[in-house]
A = this chain, B = another copy of it.
Amino acid sequence: MDAAEFRRRGKEMVDYVADYLENIEQRPVYPDLEPGYLRSLIPTEAPLEPESYEEIMHDVERVIMPGVTHWHSPNFFAYFPAASSYPAMVADMLCGAIGCIGFSWAASPACTELETVMLDWLGKMLHLPESFIAGTHGHGGGVIQGTASEATLMALLAARCKTVRRVLASDSKKSESEILSKLVAYTSDQAHSSVERAALIGAVMMRKVPTDQHYAVREEMLRKMVEEDKAAGLIPFYVKNNTKHIYPQVYEATSSSFSGNKENMWMHIDAAYAGSAFICPEFRPLLNGIEYADSFNFNPHKFLLVNFDCSAMWVKKRADIIGAFKMEPLYLKHENQESGRHWQIPLGRRFRSLKLWFVFRMYGLKGLQAHIRKQVALAKEFESLVRADKRFEICAEVVLGLVCFRLKGSNELNQNLLKKITKSRELHLVPCQLSGRFVLRFAICARSTESRHIQQAWRHITQLAFELLQEQPH
């Protein structure tokens, strides 16, 4: 494919993409096939000679599309939103063409610099404390990570490094491995599995703090665990808390308990999903207390119309996170190396800030706020429908775009309801577990979801629930 053919095929693909997204509702949202379906549909080896573009596009519909879970269908209510917008897609085309590998300032100055400034823009949109903003003289600043898992891990590793150095400085008789074996990290018992993974990777202990009836970590409980661990000779060094997609109100109590950082613990706040909403003044109070955190991250690729992957992470002291990992072999050295980026696990990185730049400018802050508010209003609309039906109950406060609900009755009943929904393939939902109860999650996901889809989804769910209750023995 030369440039001339790319001009033709690229434009055809633009139309294919627009057609796909405009007509996505007509496709079953969830595929109907068994694991291993794809292997038998294509050859066992790569072709020796080139094939035609037409053959490949024919196979996209024959092989790929039947196996796609359509995350951008207005009938997709599973997991969490995967952000998608046309400006982000256009920016990604440019990113692919520039194709620089931004592992240092010199490797493409625009890549590093636009990222720094875009994270400042975004931090200001969220009204993050000044200490998280890079500006021209700040000690803090932001970086784009691939996912929140990587942000959580980077924060834990930076905290680990900082704590080991601190303890060594005060007691040089201790060995590094002795210190490592005593480090304890804390997280909520409601936290994402990626936190446990981060502790596993970093080879440190992780304790889960029990939560209260609001699924919130209470200051007293965390403090008690920390005191007990210290009394046992351990070294509490990291607490990761959430403004999580289910319970964004959780972390405030905790953060305030470590003001002044007198415990020498690193506090990382993860608002993977909820963070985007904080650009709206009415949701910003959920972030109160952030001034006590050492690092913060959320995923614009979830709720802020920036295609995956783009997880935004800020730190108060860049030196903490850079210092933990910097190693500069000669082939990466450069006179302006301090402007480089060594804030993540991979060395190479794409020019992802272009997506942020295009999206922020094509929507404007008001356009982005309107998107958030629309999605939250759709969740409230669904909540009202559930609350109006006495057979159902709401299982957690609806704060943003997620509604946790269930049929009043057994877990088995709700499992059967979900099975029926999944089997129908008209909607897609996934469950969660709240205090031992099997709960259905209804997440507002696609940008194209409208009130009529909510109404239609509820009609469908109640119809299936009606059938299910009819089938019950009594």
Interface residues of A (CB under 8 A from B): 1-7, 9-11, 13-18, 20-22, 31, 33-39, 42, 44-51, 53, 55-56, 60, 63-72, 79, 82, 84-90, 92-94, 96-101, 105-111, 113-114, 116-117, 120-122, 124-125, 136, 146-147, 149-150, 153, 157, 160, 175, 177-178, 180-181, 192-194, 196-197, 200-203, 307-309, 324-325, 327-332, 336, 338-339, 345-348, 350, 354, 357-358, 360-367, 430-433, 441
With A13-B94, A153-B345: A331-B63 Cβ-Cβ less than 8 Å: no
The CA-CA distance from A72 to B108 in the complex, in Å, is 12
Contact of A10 among B60, B82, B89, B178 (CB under 8 A): B89
Asked whether B193 lies within 8 Å of A327 as measured between CB atoms, the reply is yes
Q: Which residues of B contact A107 (CB under 8 A)?
A: 69, 79
The CA-CA distance from A17 to B15 in the complex, in Å, is 17
Q: Which residues of B contact A55 (CB under 8 A)?
A: 361
The CA-CA distance from A71 to B351 in the complex, in Å, is 12
The minimal Cβ–Cβ distance linking A288 to chain B, given in whole angstroms, is 22
Contact of A47 among B56, B150, B193, B365 (CB under 8 A): B365
Asked whether A90 lies within 8 Å of B38 as measured between CB atoms, the reply is no
Name which residue of chain B comes closest to A336, CB basis: B35
With A85-B1, A146-B146: A331-B35 Cβ-Cβ less than 8 Å: no
Asked whether B362 lies within 8 Å of A108 as measured between CB atoms, the reply is no
Asked whether B3 lies within 8 Å of A331 as measured between CB atoms, the reply is no
With A87-B1, A94-B16: A39-B345 Cβ-Cβ less than 8 Å: no
Asked whether A149 lies within 8 Å of B365 as measured between CB atoms, the reply is no
The CA-CA distance from A419 to B13 in the complex, in Å, is 44
The minimal Cβ–Cβ distance linking A320 to chain B, given in whole angstroms, is 15
The CA-CA distance from A336 to B339 in the complex, in Å, is 46
Q: Which residues of B contact A193 (CB under 8 A)?
A: 327-329, 332, 347
Asked whether A203 lies within 8 Å of B203 as measured between CB atoms, the reply is yes
The minimal Cβ–Cβ distance linking A200 to chain B, given in whole angstroms, is 7
The CA-CA distance from A429 to B453 in the complex, in Å, is 56
With A120-B44, A201-B345: A69-B100 Cβ-Cβ less than 8 Å: yes
Asked whether A121 lies within 8 Å of B45 as measured between CB atoms, the reply is yes
Asked whether B49 lies within 8 Å of A366 as measured between CB atoms, the reply is yes
